[in-house]
A = this chain, B = another copy of it.
Amino acid sequence: MSINIVKPSILPGFMELTPSNQILFNKMMDTIRRNYEKFGFLPIDTPLIEKSEVLLAKGGGETEKQIYKVVKGDADMSLRFDLTVPLARYVAQHYSELSFPYRRYHIGKVYRGERNQKGRFREFYQADIDIIGNGNLDIINDAEIPSVIYSTFKDLGFDSFTIRINNRKVLSGFFASLGIDDSTNVLRSVDKLEKIGIDKVKAEIKEFGISDENIDKILDFISIRGTNDETIEKLKALNIQNEKFLEGLDELDKVVHYIRIFGVPEKNFALDLTIARGLDYYTGTVYETKLNDYPSIGSVCSGGRYDDLATYYTSQKLPGVGISIGLTRLFYQLTEAEIIKSSDYSLTEVMVIPMEGYMDYAIEASRNLRDAGIFTQVYFEGGKLGKKFNYADKLNIPYVILIGQEEAEQRKYSFRDMKSGEQKNLTFDEVIKCLR
């Protein structure tokens, strides 16, 4: 029988890793998951395919253009494009089964048919947390979120990162105090400050018909810098008598107070009045997180407070606050920039290599090692010793145990450190001691 061979390949824009990179990726994912769980967030896992009418209830815009449709029978189905819409649907659907405040984390793949571009993925992991209140949700939750970000990125091995925080009410209240009611366009320009610089922002704002006096005030406002306390003081000193502004300022003040109690060091968070984020969704606190040594990576963790999660699925008022880490993109950027490297990682700690005729002893040894909690592989195949060492080396397995006549008779193990090449004759207990 002759078989037509199909070229083995995957679709463009999809990430697939070799084993050592996958180990590293999973390690990151586990670290994020553990941190989320440490703060009392509960897992969910929703279907990747949902009814299109549910996923696209909000409708319109970029989302609809990027969606992957799924075809089987008559149902109109799509792949989810984020984890927030499924959360909204989930909370509305399971409302009576949930306890509020409902804290959930979700780490899963989402799909967007983006333009094919280096570093952009069409299938990627998001790692989200959200805290959903029933009717209301205390502002302290907004202060806890940065402490989860802090704890997570510390555990991921970062030290120099800044969680930038703002409050949408402060922004919109300020604009309202200038008589600018629809600040959407202005905010969009302000959001680009870091990218395009102050002069271009100024020119853009001018086009929206804003007076020179107000433009100066806006620029003064977004130029406010200083320590977190100084920023709060400067905002207070503006003496703006707009209710929304004052509400936002009070929230910002409380968030700063509690962030400190939560133990986030001063150097890892900064009030930043230029942060605006997804303009039609967030209503209060907003976050962005930057790695200070790698500014070009952009925000690695963003989110904020919203007034109502599930408007399209229930009349219950469900305010919430949450963040998202774009894990696939983050991993890609960290490995591209060689900030993390896979070469040191192995799950398997020991490879047992039997000499000819000593397979039974090798298998017994592997059982004992696993019983002691050591991840162990036995090399079952024939061949030369060098090839077997080479195999362990390629898989980054740090230790090899050789078992032959001498080892079997003396009940001792030739224990080899693959990095140093050092080889010792040890009892089982000594081996375990070395591995711990």
Contact = CB atoms under 8 A, between A and B. Distances in A.
Contacts of A140: 359, 363, 380
Nearest to A89: B8
Contacts of A417: none
A314 interface: yes
Contact of A70 (B16, B18, B79, B97): B79
Contacts of A367: 262-263
Contacts of A37: 347-348, 375
Interface string A128-152: 0000010011101100100000010
Contact of A261 (B16, B25, B53, B364): B364
Contacts of A6: 53-54, 57, 312-313
A317 interface: no
Interface stretch (A42-50, A176-184, A231-239): A42-50
A122 to B, nearest CB: 8
A434 interface: no
A24 to B, nearest CB: 10
A9 B138 contact: no
A221 interface: no
Nearest to A351: B40
A212 interface: no
A381 B99 CA distance: 13
Given A5-B313, A262-B367, A137 B381 contact: yes
Contacts of A89: 8-10
B50 A10 contact: yes
A339 interface: no
A71 B72 contact: no
Given A137-B381, A370-B38, A45 B71 contact: no
Contacts of A294: none
Contacts of A211: none
B72 A68 contact: yes
Interface string A364-381: 100100100001111011
A51 interface: yes
Interface string A105-124: 00001010100000000010
Contact of A45 (B22, B68, B113): B22
Contact of A51 (B11, B43, B49): B11
Given A5-B314, A69-B71, A93-B8, A363 B258 contact: yes
A378 B147 CA distance: 13
Given A23-B42, A70-B70, 6 more contacts: A10-B93, A19-B43, A25-B45, A39-B377, A48-B123, A261-B364
21 contacts: A3-B312, A6-B313, A8-B90, A8-B92, A8-B93, A9-B54, A9-B93, A16-B47, A22-B43, A25-B45, A26-B43, A38-B370, A38-B375, A39-B377, A40-B375, A42-B395, A69-B71, A70-B79, A73-B113, A133-B381, A258-B359
